[in-house]
A and B are shown apart, each in its own frame.
Chain A
Amino acid sequence: MTQTTTAERRKMAEQFISVIPHSRDLGMALEDFGDGMAEMSIEYDPRFVGDPDTGVLHGGVITALLDTCSGVAVSSHSSVTEATATIDLRIDYMRPATPGQRILAKAQCYRVTKSVAFVHAKAYDENEDAPVATAAGAFTVGLPKKEGA
């Protein structure tokens, strides 16, 4: 059997995130991990502020977190074995993230076809009832063809 357990996949995901320079640069941490789902967080950091008047984090930081978390959710899916890349990602911003609070993202890969994985994701601060942002994304699945082939 080549089936990997969730624990093994989780370890792989943690290793995977730890070697991504951009995720490390933003201090992303894996919080939870399962078949087709992932939770990741980012601590509040004044260096990541987008609006100097309010201290609210830049939307791009939330984008980076939701993109990474969605990608990890795709890789965690039991029918996905190879690397994945974002095809498109739409983010809806419901409200500004509260300054000083960490951001938690939850992503669910709800459908995988032969070539595409579909993901829904949400981002929260300490108020879990009202998401800061939601996202819908499509990701590549399957080995890419050699360019020019």
Chain B
Amino acid sequence: MMTRPKPEPVQVIKQRRDAALAKLAGNVPYIQHLGVNFDRRGDELTAILPYNENLIGNPFLPAIHGGAIGAFMEIAAVMELMWSIVWQQMENGGPAAEAIERGAFPAMPKTIDFTVDYLRTGLPRDAYARARVNRSGRRYASVNVEAWQDNKTRIFSQATGHFLMPQLITE
């Protein structure tokens, strides 16, 4: 009879994934500067941009700066892509997974182009974004992002970006 290895306790797996995500976001100064953090449900990420006064682009309305919104969406897109790579490597185990455990991540994907569609004024409130990797090949990836504030159905910005994938060490 085949003996399956005993599955790891859920807390160990959770702790490993949360630690990897925290390290990944914590390593990027601009993510820290904007104050973006991530909520994780399994492999699903939600990027959160907590409101602060420095995000304002139009003090008279007031409204969040289009550049801050664009940056937030790009952060959400890159992190989703990076997380999908890291997640897969952690799941596969082996040397790549051990490297991640030590905090040695694969290189970041590079943005080729990024298009932001500003649908509504960004209000002085927290913003949320979820990205979806529509295609991820060996060299290129296409990612879509939607962002909302109070109402999930009223997205205030959407974006599409193309990225150059990092060269992964595969055995």
Interface, chain A (partner B; CB < 8 A): 19-26, 46-53, 57-61, 63-68, 71, 83, 85-93, 96
Contact = CB atoms under 8 A, between A and B. Distances in A.
Interface of B: 27-34, 53-60, 63-68, 70-72, 74-75, 78, 107-108, 110-118, 121
B53 to A, nearest CB: 6
Say whether chain B's binding surface is mostly helix, strand, loop, or mixed: mixed
Contacts of B113: 90-93
Given A21-B59, A59-B74, A64 B67 contact: yes
B28 A58 contact: yes
Contacts of A59: 71, 74, 78, 111, 114
A137 B86 CA distance: 34
Contact of A88 (B60, B72, B108, B115): B115
Q: Top 7 A-B pairs ranked by shortest CB distance?
A: A60-B71, A64-B67, A22-B65, A58-B30, A63-B70, A90-B115, A25-B54
Given A23-B57, A63-B116, A93-B113, A47 B74 contact: no
B121 A21 contact: no
A58 B115 contact: no
Contacts of A47: 29-30, 32-33
Given A53-B107, A89-B66, A22 B115 contact: no
Contact of A83 (B54, B58, B117): B58
A23 B58 CA distance: 10
